[in-house]
């Protein structure tokens, strides 16, 4: 199966992508991983991406598209893949369509994870991270530490990351609405979109997604 997973920040997209890819036995192709791999291997695309990033500039679509194409051309992706974070705008979606056409392949489904905006803000803005170890993660509502501001695991100080502040989250949501959401309409026109609720436990969402894929 060839699947694109879309959803706003805070929808738990990365977690769902990992579970779904495992259940479906297809590679999970995440944009973040592509960038890290290309940069650590020093590929041409990785070096170019690094130049833009060190200059504090956005990486142009062609570079992201190039990395995604290289990855989709790997043998383990011959029978399917799950794309996570790509395409993230119309230009990338059109490039993906063209690439799949050229290689005689088609998408099977676009899974749209839906979360109410206030819930996204609550999920992200409530996160608190331990200064000693960033894997010690708490949440003021959903996973409160025994003592406010103190890590249950190591006693370290808990803080809110800059990226997790409400204003930042609202800004990321705006970007999602204006740049990424249009790809949902793009794929709706191709009859590929299935929308599922991303509320509830991780396993519940995975089950919903698997059922939606089976129906297709
Ligand atoms: Zn800690």
Smallest CA-to-CA distance from 81 within 13, 25, 6, 36 is with: 25
pLDDT < 50 stretches in the chain: none
Q: Indicate whether 149 belongs to any domain.
A: no
Q: What is the pLDDT of residue 216?
A: 53
Q: What is the pLDDT of residue 10?
A: 87
Question: Coil, strand, or helix at residue 165?
Answer: coil
Q: Indicate whether 165 belongs to any domain.
A: no
With a CB cutoff of 8 Å and minimum separation 6, the contacts of 5 are 13, 16, 17, 20, 82, 83, 84, 110, 111, 113
Q: Indicate whether 164 belongs to any domain.
A: no
Q: Which domain holds residue 203?
A: 2-115+179-215
40 alpha carbon to ligand 1 midpoint, in Å? 29
Q: Indicate whether 148 belongs to any domain.
A: no
Q: How far is CA 126 from CA 145, 164, 200, in A?
A: 12, 8, 17
Q: Domain count of the chain?
A: 1
- The annotated binding site for ATP is made up of 10-15, 127, 137-138, 200
88 given a catalytic annotation: yes
Q: Indicate whether 102 belongs to any domain.
A: yes
13 given a catalytic annotation: yes
Q: What is the pLDDT of residue 214?
A: 86
82-126: pLDDT as tens digits:
999 999 999 999 999 999 999 999 999 999 999 999 999 999 999
Backbone angles phi, psi at 109, to 5 degrees: -160, 150
Q: Indicate whether 17 belongs to any domain.
A: yes
Question: Coil, strand, or helix at residue 202?
Answer: helix
Q: Indicate whether 104 belongs to any domain.
A: yes
Q: What is the pLDDT of residue 112?
A: 97
We report the CATH number of the domain holding residue 37 as 3.40.50.300
Q: Indicate whether 14 belongs to any domain.
A: yes
């Amino acid at each position: 199966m060839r699947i694109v997973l879309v959803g706003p920040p805070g929808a738990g997209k990365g977690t769902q992508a990992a579970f779904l890819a495992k259940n479906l036995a297809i590679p999970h192709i995440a944009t973040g991983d592509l960038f890290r791999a290309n940069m650590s291997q020093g590929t041409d695309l990785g070096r170019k991406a690094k130049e833009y990033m060190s200059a504090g500039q956005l990486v142009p679509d062609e570079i992201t598209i190039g990395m995604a194409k290289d990855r989709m051309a790997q043998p383990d992706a011959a029978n399917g893949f799950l794309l996570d974070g790509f395409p993230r705008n119309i230009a990338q979606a059109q490039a993906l369509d063209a690439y799949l056409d050229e290689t005689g392949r088609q998408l099977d489904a676009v899974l749209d994870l839906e979360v109410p905006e206030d819930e996204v803000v609550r999920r992200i803005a409530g996160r608190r991270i331990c200064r000693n170890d960033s894997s010690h993660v708490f949440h003021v509502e959903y996973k409160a530490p025994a003592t406010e501001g103190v890590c249950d695991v190591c006693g370290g100080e808990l803080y809110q990351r800059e990226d997790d502040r409400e204003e930042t989250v609202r800004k990321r949501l705006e970007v999602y609405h204006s740049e990424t959401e249009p790809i949902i309409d793009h794929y709706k026109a191709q009859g590929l979109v299935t929308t599922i609720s991303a509320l509830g436990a991780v396993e519940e969402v995975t089950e919903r997604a698997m059922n939606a894929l089976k129906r297709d």
